[in-house]
A = this chain, B = another copy of it.
Amino acid sequence: MSGQVEQIAPELEVQEWLNGDPILLSQCRGRVVVVYAFQMLCPGCVHHATPQISRLHEMFSKSDDAVVIGLHTVFEHHDVMGPEALKVYIHENRLNFPVAVDRPTAGSRIPRTMATYELQGTPTIVLIDRHGQFRAKYLGPVEDMSLGVAIGRLLAES
């Protein structure tokens, strides 16, 4: 990606943080950040991406190298995927990674961060490098090996 100006990822716009204190991307400089946009009733999230992100979070839980953040970007069936339902989903599945509830947008079904980050659906995994720059965005399932290689590449950067 040399020769290309990378865009700094804007801060997440968050209604509520679950599983921990608020996280500012500006305070994550020096670390690789993985943002996982999901919906709690999206089958591709439930069956593939959420378990994958849990493994990833576990893998980096004792390291200062990477930060894994869930982002609940509800853009359909809003009535049944509110924060109270999400809390049950997190509790029942014993998810440990921090989860940000994307802030709703007045007059639009697309919440704010989802719009700003130009996410097209769920699951989407966004990789942000040690300088806070967008480096990759995966819509739909991505295999562990590919995701690992992409993260490893960013981790190796100083």
Contact = CB atoms under 8 A, between A and B. Distances in A.
A29 interface: no
Contacts of A80: 80, 82, 84-85, 88
B148 A43 contact: no
Nearest to A85: B80
Contacts of A59: 145-146, 149
A149 to B, nearest CB: 4
Interface string A137-156: 00000011111111111111
A153 B79 CA distance: 43
Given A85-B80, A85-B85, A156-B157, A92 B42 contact: yes
B152 A149 contact: yes
Nearest to A76: B88
Interface in A109-158: 143-157
A85 to B, nearest CB: 4
